[in-house]
Structure 1
Amino acid sequence: MADFVDWDLAASTAATLGPTGPKVTKAEAVEVVRQLRTLTDEAAEHVAEFTGLTSQVDVPPVRVVDRRDWAALNVAGMRQVIGPLTAQLARRSQTAGTGPLEMVGAKVTAVQAGTILAYLSGRVLGQYEVFSGEPGHLLLVAPNIVAVERKLGAEPRDFRLWVCLHEVTHRTQFTAVPWLRGHFLSEVKAFIDASDTDASALLGRVGRAVSAAADAVRNKGSQASVLDLVQSPAQRVVMDRLTALMTLVEGHAEVVMDGVGPRVIPSVEAIRARFDRRRATANPVESVIRRLLGVDAKLRQYAEGRKFVQSAIDRVGMAGFNRVWAAPANLPTLAELTDPDAWVARVAP
C-alpha cells in the first residue's frame, strides 16, 4: 500500500535544507561530545536531588547528535506515529477511487515535512524522543548548543550544563513516572484516531492552512498556526489535553533549571537573561515561520508552565506537587494551568 508521505524523501530534504553547523576543529568537536556526556550524568544527580524523582527503568545513554542525525531520528519517530493515520488515508483513497494520495502526493508532503524539520534542526538544543522505543532516548544537538553559547557569549561549560538540566529533567519525567510515556502515546493515538479521513474535509483544512500561511506573511499580527487549522473538531479536544501535558513537563523543566542553576552554575543569571531575550526576539521572516509552526505557542508553554509549577510548589511543597505524577487523573487541565489553586484543591489539598 502506498504511503501518504515519502519518508525517505522527507529525511533527505531535511538533511539538504538544514543549516550548516558552527565551525569547530575535530578536537573541539570531540571535546564537546565528551563534555556533554559527562554533564548529562552530573545533571541527572542534580535533577534527582531537586525533584525527588528517580528513574524506575534502565536509562539508555545520551545520544549527542548533529542536525542531520536529529532530523533523521525525528523522521523515524514521525513515521511510527503518523503511520496509522497515513494507512487510514491510503485505505480511504483506494475505496473512493480519488483521494489525498493522488491529489496531494506523497512527495509533496515529504518535502513539506522535510522543510519543517530542516528549520527546527537548526533551533533545537535537545529533546527526549519517546516514539522510537521504550523508554525513549535523550538527544543533545551539539552544533546548536555550540552555536547558541557563542551567540550568547556564555561560558561553554556553564551553558552546556544548563541545557543538560532541562533535557535530563524530561528524561527523568518519562523514566521516573512509569505510566507517563504510555499515557502520552495513547493521547497521540487518540489524536490520530480522531482525524477526519474524508478527503474533501482534510483537503479543505489544508487549503485553509495554506491561506493562513499567506495571511501570516502579509499580516505580522496574525497568530494563525498551520497545526491549529488542519485539526478536526474532535482532534482539538485531544489537543487541549496534550497541550496541558506538554505545558506541565516544559514548565517543570524550567523550574528545575532555575532551582538547580544558581547552586551549580556560576553564570546562570546572565545565561537566563540572555537566553530569554533570544527567545523573545526574531527577524521578520523567522517570526512568520515560528507562528506557522506553532513555535511561539511552544515558547508560551515554557512561561505558563513554569508559573504553574512554581506556584504549586510554593503552595504545597515539592512532595505535594509530585502528586501530579501519581496518576493521569492528577494532571492539570488546560484551565487549571492558569489557576493553580484549583489544581491544589483538587489534587493536593
Structure 2
Amino acid sequence: MTTRPDPHGQTGTEPGGTPPPATPDDDAEGLAGHDLVDWDLAAAAASRLVPPGPRAGRAEIEQLVAELRSAGARAVEPVATTARLRTPPGTPPALVVDRPGWIAANAASMGAMLAPVLDEVVSRKRVADRARARTRGKELAEVGPTAQRIGSAVTGTEVAGMLSWISTKVLGQYDLAPQGTPRLMFVAPNILAAERELDVDAGDFRLWVAMHEETHRVQFTAVPWLREHLIEQARSVGARMMPEPDQLAQRLGEIVSQVPGVLRGDTDITQVLASPEQRKRLAEVTAVMSLLEGHADVVMDEVGPSVIPTVATIRSRFTERRKGAGGVDKLLRRLLGMEAKMRQYHDGAVFVRAVTDQVGVDGFNALWTSPQTLPRPTEIAEPHTWVARVHG
C-alpha cells in the first residue's frame, strides 16, 4: 500500500480560488495574461505524474497523520516562547496533505500570484503590437481561441513537470495563498521518506519540522503587514523581470547562452533571468527570504533538547542531506533556483544569530516593525550594519 496521508481520502487542502476569470474586454481583445497557463491542467497533470511516496501500511499512515497534527499544535508554544512572537487566536490549524494536495494548493497560489504579472506582460505586448501595426498601416491580428487553448495547455504541461518534482521535496510550507486563506501544510509522504532516509527518531523529526513551519506561520500572522508586503514585492519583481516585447529575442539569446554556467553551478538562474537593474530589486526580496528561512532554522534549533531530545543529531544529518543531492537532482535544483534557497537558510541563520548576540531577541524583533526595518541585501552579509542603522 502506498502512502496517502489521510486514510479517508481527505487531505484537508483548501487551495482557495482560481486566477481571475476572463472579462468581456479579454474576450474582445484575445488572450489575457492570466490565461497563459492552464493551472487546472497543470495541477491535474502533476498529480498524475508524481509518485505517491514511500510504502506504508494503514496503521502507520494513520499514526503519521495523527502525529503531524499533534506536532503542529505542540509547536505553537515553544516557537512563541523562543521567537517572542505569537500566532493570533483563531488561526487555522495545520493541514496534513499528500503530494497531490500540495500540488493543488500551490497551483492555485501560483496562478493567483502570477495573474497580475502575466496580465501586465500581455497588456504591454498588445500595446507594442498595436503601435507596430499602426506604423505599417495594418490591423492587429489577435491570437485565435484555439491557439490560445493550445498555448495555455502546453505551458500548463510544462508547469506540471516542475510542480511534480518539487512536490516530492517539500516537507512543509506556510502557503501565503494570495487568492484566499493562508494555511500551514505538512506533506506527509515526504516527511516519512526523509525520516527513514536520515534514520532519526520519527517523533522528534516530525516536531522539528513543525517548529520550522510554525515559525513561518508566526512570522506572517504576528506581523500583519508582512504577507501583503512580500506578495507585492514578488509581483513587482516578476513584472519587471519580463522583457519588453521588442527585447524578447535578445533576452532569450542571453539566457540560453548562460544556461551552461547555471548547470555548472557558476551562476544562479535568477541572476541569468534578471537584468542588472532588476537584480537590485530581486536582491531585496532575496534578503527578506533569507531572513525568514534563517529565522525559522534558528528557532527550530534553539528550542533545544528539552523539547526535542535528538535535535543535534537531526540538524547534523539534515544539513548533510541538503548537501548530498545526486547529479540529476542538483541540475534540477539549479535550473529551478533551489540552490539559491539552500544558501538562504545559511545566510539568514548567520544574520539572525549575529544580531541576536548583539541586541538580544527583543532587539532582533525590531526588524518586524515595518518594511523599512527589514534587513537590506548588504546587511544580511554584514549584520552589524543593520544593528547600527536600526538601533543606532
Over 3 Å counting, the alpha-carbon distance change for 1:9 and 1:214 in structure 2 is farther
1:165-207 per-residue CA deviation (whole Å, 9 max, x = no partner) reads 0000000000001111121122123224424463342454345
Q: In structure 2, do the counterparts of structure 1 residues 86 and 134 end up closer, same or farther at CA, with 3 Å as the change threshold? A: closer
Match of 1:282 in 2: 325
Question: Which segment is superposed worse, 240-249 or 195-204?
Answer: 195-204
- Between the aligned partners of 1:41 and 1:250, the Cα distance in structure 2 is 21
Matched to 1:140, the amino acid is: F
- Which is further off, 197-206 or 333-342? 197-206
The 2-side partners of 1:89 and 1:215 are apart by 28
Report the counterpart of residue 183 of structure 1 in structure 2. 229
Is the deviation greater in 163-172 or in 108-117? 108-117
* Paired AA for residue 169 in structure 2: R
Over the matched positions of the two proteins, sequence identity in percent amounts to 42
Letter in 2 for 1:36: L
| CA deviation after TM superposition for structure 1 residue 153, in Å | 0.5
Contact 1:247 1:305 in 2 (8 A): yes
Matches within 5 A, 1:127-276: 127-133=173-179, 136-196=182-242, 198-213=244-259, 216-217=262-263, 220-225=264-269, 227-276=270-319
Corresponding residue to 2:111 among 79, 83, 98 = 79
Task: Tell me how far apart the structure 1 counterparts of residues 37 and 57 of structure 2 sit (CA, whole Å).
Answer: 37
Q: Report the counterpart of residue 43 of structure 1 in structure 2.
A: 75
How far off is 1:317 after superposition? Answer: 0.5
More displaced stretch, 48-57 vs 94-103: 94-103
- TM-score for the superposition, normalised by structure 2: 0.82
Tell me which amino acid in the other structure corresponds to 1:4: L
Instruction: Report deviation, 1:9.
Output: 2.0
Partner of 1:10: 42
Correspondent of 2:366 among 323, 334, 343: 323
SS in 2 for 1:105: helix
Q: Which residue of 1 aligns with 2:94?
A: 62
Q: CA deviation at 1:125?
A: 0.4
Identify which of 84, 88, 112 aligns with 2:120: 88
State the match for 2:9 in structure 1. none
Q: 1:118 matched to which residue of 2?
A: 164
* Secondary structure of residue in 2 paired with 1:23: coil
For the 8 Å contact 2:120–2:239, the answer to whether it is kept is: no
- Contact 2:241 2:273 (C-alpha < 8 Å) held by counterparts: no
Measured at CA, do residues 224 and 191 of structure 1 come closer, stay the same or move farther in structure 2, by a change above 3 Å? closer
After superposition, the C-alpha distances for 1:20-53 in whole angstroms (9 at most, x for unaligned) are 3011112221211111111111111100011111
* 2:135 paired residue number: none
Q: Find the structure with the greater CA-based Rg.
A: 2
Please list the CA deviations of residues 278-301 of structure 1 after superposition, one character each: whole Å capped at 9, or x if unmatched: 101111111111111111110000
Question: What is the CA deviation profile of residues 219-251 of structure 1, one whole-angstrom value per residue up to 9, with x for unaligned ones?
Answer: x344341x4333355543321111010000111
TM-score with structure 1 setting the length: 0.91
Q: Alpha-carbon deviation of 1:67?
A: 0.8
Q: Which moved more, 1:54-63 or 1:177-186?
A: 54-63
Residue 72 of structure 2 aligns with an amino acid whose one-letter code is T
Higher mean C-alpha deviation, range 133-142 or range 25-34: 133-142
- Give the stretch that moved more between structures: 99-108 or 279-288: 99-108
Residue in structure 2 matched with residue 308 of structure 1 by the alignment: 351
8 Å Cα contact 1:241/1:333 also seen in 2: yes
Per mean C-alpha deviation after superposition, the further-off stretch among 33-42 and 195-204 is 195-204
- Is the Cα contact below 8 Å between 1:65 and 1:142 reproduced in 2? yes
For structure 1, the 5+ residue unaligned runs are none
For the residue of structure 1 that corresponds to 2:56, the secondary structure is coil
Do the aligned partners of 2:72 and 2:93 also contact (CA within 8 Å) in 1?
no
Q: Which segments of 5 or more consecutive residues in structure 2 lack a partner in the other structure?
A: 1-25, 130-139
Over the aligned positions, Cα root-mean-square deviation in angstroms equals 2.4
